[in-house]
Structure 1
Amino acid sequence: MRILIGQPIHEKQIEQMKNDIKAKDSIDLVLYPEGYLSDENALEEACKLAKEYKIAIVSSYRKDNKDRAVIISCDGEKILERAKTIPDENVELHEPLTVFYNNNSIGYILCMEILKANRDLKRVEEKIDFIVHPIGVGMFSEEQFEQWVREAKVIAKTYKTIVIGTSHADGSYRNCGVSIPISYCIDSNGEPIFITKSDIRSRIVDLDSKKFETIG
């Protein structure tokens, strides 16, 4: 499976996603950050785009000013859709945590949910082939960057799966003014296929060969 990992800027429409999909052949899935789909209209546009180009789309969308997880199949159907789990450590990750698609069990964690994933993914009985991790904005400190990468490595190694994450290129957590854009792909041994810091170019990773290419 070939996955395009984008780091767009925030926008009301989905022009950056359209341009990424139109520019590249032989892509099976596109991973975009949390909240890139700004509302339900943008979500429906993404569903149409997935169906038109026969490509799966992973991101999240905003509804009632809250982020919701979504995976769209190449038929334009929403095959995973749920609320984001609140940060309270006593609250477990909301279901569903995985979806079976195109002969793969795909795990899904949304932004700060990564801090609960190593604990709560134990509820998943089947082998997870890879986990997608849409992140809203870049990290607000070097310490957070290292923490989230470390968590991704632990999850990958614990569950013997690939973990892939990406953030927007702009914006900052609660408008704090600090943002370190991040994207990464960790293999099932917990070793990096790539990790980027403040490098907002898109990438394509081939899950079969464990190789990637940088776009732009």
Structure 2
Amino acid sequence: MKILISQPYHEENLQQLETDIALDADFDTVLYPEGYITNKVNVDKACALANKYHKMIISGYRDENRKDRALIINPHGEIILERAKTPMNDRLFTPSAADFDGNKIGYLLCVELLQGLLGLEKYAASLAYIAHPIGVGMFSDEQFDEWIAEAKKIALKYNTLILGTSHADGSYRNCGISIPIAYCIDRAGEPIFISKNDLRTRIINLETKEFEFIINE
């Protein structure tokens, strides 16, 4: 099971996704940030790309009200997880896991990371990994450290890997501060990698915990 983890810039089209998914490299899933897919028309385009290249796409999209929603598209171009984002202080919305090809994939959308210690229990025994699309980078070093620490707790509680990625640009409520983040934590709560202000695309093999950098020309 190999996943391409990208930190794209915000854009109205899917140019970066098209570039990444078409790479001549060995991977079966693409992990992109929350809100990268900006509308339902682009959701349809992403489904077509998934089907064309036979790759799963895990990301998030904006609905007609500019609200963020969860999204997983399987390699046949079919949506297998779609739901609203959980409001702060609510219990994690369901579904928060999807099944494909014998694997169960957990899902947390951006700040849902802080709600993830409750809500995934019924999936815990069978999670292959948890995907965590993040909207923009962290607004402080303290937030960066807090989110990594929370990801480690979640990996340990559910005995599974968790991996996340943000956009390369943008900031929380346009505060002007953004620390791009990408990471992968193993089931023992140990980092496979933690990326801070490092925008390189990676392909990670979840079985061997090895990864490689991909340079997009």
Q: Which residue of 2 aligns with 1:96?
A: 95
Q: Which residue of 2 aligns with 1:42?
A: 42
Partners of 1:18 and 1:83 in 2: CA distance:
25
Q: Which residue of 1 aligns with 2:70?
A: 69
Q: Which residue of 1 aligns with 2:20?
A: 20
Partners of 2:33 and 2:143 in 1: CA distance:
17
Aligned partner of 2:43: which letter? L
Q: Which residue of 2 aligns with 1:204?
A: 203
TM-score normalised according to structure 1 size: 0.97
Runs of 4+, deviation exceeding 6 Å: none
Partners of 1:135 and 1:125 in 2: CA distance:
22
Q: Which residue of 1 aligns with 2:169?
A: 170
Q: Deviations over 1:23-60 (max 9, x none)?
A: 23321000000000011011110000000000000000
**Please, which moves more after superposition, 189-198 or 20-29?**
20-29
Q: SS at 1:47's partner residue?
A: helix
Conserved 8 A contact 2:124-2:158:
no
Aligned residue pairs, count: 214
**Please, which moves more after superposition, 186-195 or 21-30?**
21-30
Aligned partner of 1:35: which letter? G
Aligned partner of 1:146: which letter? D
**1:125 Cα shift?**
5.6
**1:124 Cα shift?**
3.0
Partners of 1:106 and 1:139 in 2: CA distance:
25
Conserved 8 A contact 2:125-2:158:
no
Partners of 1:58 and 1:206 in 2: CA distance:
16
Partners of 2:97 and 2:192 in 1: CA distance:
22
Conserved 8 A contact 2:8-2:167:
yes
Partners of 1:103 and 1:190 in 2: CA distance:
24
Q: Which residue of 2 aligns with 1:182?
A: 181
Partners of 2:24 and 2:165 in 1: CA distance:
19
**1:120 Cα shift?**
2.2
Structure 2 unpaired stretches of 5+: none
Partners of 2:192 and 2:124 in 1: CA distance:
26
Partners of 1:123 and 1:179 in 2: CA distance:
35
